[in-house]
Chains A and B, each alone.
Chain A
Amino acid sequence: MSEFKPKIVAFVCNWCTYAGADLTGTSRIKYASNVKIIRFPCTGRIDFMLLMKAFENGADGIIVSGCHPNDCHYSTGNFHARRRWMVFRHLLDFTGVDLRRITFSWVSAAEGAKWADIVNSTVDIIKKLGPYTNYHSIARLKEKEAEHVGN
């Protein structure tokens, strides 16, 4: 069996973490290529449903990152996001979703090195946890037709 290459999606805000990741690039700091970034105006825009979609479509891990408190380009978007995550995490944990698979972080436009570190450490964690088969398996349609009966 080939080595496990985690699929990790990063949901980041345009003003801090995206810029931070740009800085990681300009400073030529190397990090694992498993993580792919999707850009949002603000962490406040990140819909919890997108996280479910990512897992459903085969993500093994997720990074959500934005501006540090008080740094939000829109002044309070990240505070609203933080509250939603607090509540959403409780729900996920209660329903048995593995929170270790979601990294939440604040990465400012100046923290290029921190971004690399967030990515690498997340990749390490996910590699240890292995593929998120639990979630992926239910996301696949049951082909054994008979199983429908009596459900």
Chain B
Amino acid sequence: MEIQKKSISKASLQKLIEKLNANGRKIIAPVKKENLVEFGFISGLEQMAEDYILTNQSAKSAAFPKFEKLFSYEVTKNGITQSDSGNTEFPELVLLGVRPCDADGFTSLSAIFTWDYHDTQYTDRLNKTTLISISCSKCDDYCFCTSVDGHPGNTKGSDIQLTRLESGDYLAEIITEKGITVMNLAPELFANAPAVEKEKYLALVPSRFKAGEIAGKIKSLFENDIWIEQSLRCLGCGACAFVCPACACFDIQDESKGKNGIRLRCWDSCGFSLFTLHTSGHNPREVQSQRWRQRLMHKFSYMPERLDVLGCVGCGRCSRACPVDMNIMEHLINISEVQA
């Protein structure tokens, strides 16, 4: 559909939040938690963090929480009975202040969760979530969205995108039906858009490499030593995967207490050695370099190939979160430069 351009003042945005609350929607926005900016529930604009580049963790947990119950079961002599699967009522959520890269992350996730199997739990959650992104006026050395087909004002994945103008008002782009629904809760709060050049309010994120080229090249590097070289310092923790807005790997766990139990889905990471460990003790990805290769291959080769979408949005969270500075952008640049 055609993007509608509107504008909304700070005051109106505050009102909109109240309206949404009154409408029974929970609002999640970046808030300051000690020395981190994370997503959290807010009831007023004042609770929202000021001038942040990105939240520490991505917004993915709105539709793909770090763990979630899939169903309950009961084991008795007469067999196993399964209950409350797929009938959980998810709340209506509004994600306010997500960055375009985060919003775009849901594109990657959705591609995975609706690929061969339609994951209702994920899609139900996402359908109940409205994404109001705020375009980036600032970036840091870790940002590289522009190298992976992204953009500080990228509207892909957002339902509404706000761009802050010098007046303090926001340029509001209404992108999807969901966006319109939100706007229609209080149309009076939305004024007509001033004639402004959106670009001029956006951060300049230099393009470091071309994702397309990487995708083409990386396959030929499967046996290359670059993976060992790059991952020598890698600890094999899951920090990168868990803060990543596009990482979708999960583990299924049953937790039983006597006859009752629940089945859970929990985040998992291809960086863990346990991820591919066989019962026999054999591990097809025996060392960290192979796991690191898998991570990049998956994001830049397998996903584009099979799902026609990149597994990376260039937010740079993994690099920020990494305890040993595994800077993904830097690594991708080497890859783009290495001779196959």
Interface residues of A (CB under 8 A from B): 57, 141, 143, 145-146, 148-151
In whole angstroms, what is the CA distance A150 to B26 when docked? 12
Q: Which of B40, B66, B262 contacts A148 (CB 8 A)?
A: B66
B276 at the interface (CB under 8 A from A): no
In whole angstroms, what is the CA distance A19 to B93 when docked? 60
Mask, B20-32, CB within 8 Å of A = 1, is: 0000001010000
B38 at the interface (CB under 8 A from A): yes
The answer to whether A150 and B66 have CB atoms under 8 Å apart is no
The answer to whether B61 and A150 have CB atoms under 8 Å apart is yes
The answer to whether A141 and B69 have CB atoms under 8 Å apart is yes
The answer to whether A150 and B257 have CB atoms under 8 Å apart is no
In whole angstroms, what is the CA distance A57 to B255 when docked? 12
The answer to whether B257 and A149 have CB atoms under 8 Å apart is no
- Can you list 20 A-B contacts (CB < 8 A)? A57-B257, A141-B255, A145-B65, A145-B68, A145-B88, A145-B90, A146-B91, A146-B93, A148-B66, A148-B67, A149-B39, A149-B61, A149-B65, A149-B93, A150-B38, A150-B39, A150-B41, A150-B61, A151-B61, A151-B65
Given A148-B67, A149-B28, A149-B65, output 18 extra A-B contacts at Cβ < 8 Å: A141-B69, A141-B262, A141-B264, A145-B65, A145-B88, A145-B91, A146-B26, A146-B91, A148-B65, A148-B68, A149-B41, A149-B61, A149-B93, A150-B28, A150-B39, A150-B57, A151-B61, A151-B66
B62 at the interface (CB under 8 A from A): yes
Q: How many A-B residue pairs have CB under 8 A?
A: 37
When distances are taken between beta carbons in the complex, the residues of chain A under 8 Å from B66 are 148, 151
The answer to whether A148 and B61 have CB atoms under 8 Å apart is yes
Interface residues of B (CB under 8 A from A): 26, 28, 38-41, 57, 61-62, 65-69, 88, 90-91, 93, 255, 257, 262, 264
**Which interface residue of B41, B65, B68 has the most chain A CB atoms within 10 A?**
B65
The answer to whether A149 and B62 have CB atoms under 8 Å apart is yes
In whole angstroms, what is the CA distance A149 to B27 when docked? 11
When distances are taken between beta carbons in the complex, the residues of chain B under 8 Å from A57 are 257
In whole angstroms, what is the CA distance A138 to B171 when docked? 44
When distances are taken between beta carbons in the complex, the residues of chain B under 8 Å from A150 are 28, 38-41, 57, 61
In whole angstroms, what is the CA distance A59 to B128 when docked? 39
Closest 3 interchain pairs by CB? A148-B65, A150-B39, A150-B40
- CB-nearest residue of chain A relative to B63? A149
Report A81 CB to chain B, min CB distance, Å: 27
When distances are taken between beta carbons in the complex, the residues of chain B under 8 Å from A145 are 65, 68, 88, 90-91
- CB-nearest residue of chain A relative to B55? A150
Report B30 CB to chain A, min CB distance, Å: 9
In whole angstroms, what is the CA distance A137 to B195 when docked? 55
When distances are taken between beta carbons in the complex, the residues of chain B under 8 Å from A148 are 61, 65-68
In whole angstroms, what is the CA distance A143 to B28 when docked? 19
Report B135 CB to chain A, min CB distance, Å: 22
In whole angstroms, what is the CA distance A140 to B241 when docked? 27
In whole angstroms, what is the CA distance A141 to B62 when docked? 18
In whole angstroms, what is the CA distance A145 to B262 when docked? 14
When distances are taken between beta carbons in the complex, the residues of chain B under 8 Å from A151 are 61, 65-66
**Which interface residue of A143, A148, A149 has the most chain B CB atoms within 10 A?**
A149
Report B292 CB to chain A, min CB distance, Å: 27
In whole angstroms, what is the CA distance A143 to B91 when docked? 12
When distances are taken between beta carbons in the complex, the residues of chain A under 8 Å from B69 are 141, 143
Report A145 CB to chain B, min CB distance, Å: 6
- CB-nearest residue of chain A relative to B26? A146
Report A150 CB to chain B, min CB distance, Å: 4
Report A11 CB to chain B, min CB distance, Å: 19
When distances are taken between beta carbons in the complex, the residues of chain A under 8 Å from B264 are 141
Report B47 CB to chain A, min CB distance, Å: 12
- CB-nearest residue of chain A relative to B90? A145
- CB-nearest residue of chain B relative to A150? B39
In whole angstroms, what is the CA distance A148 to B66 when docked? 7
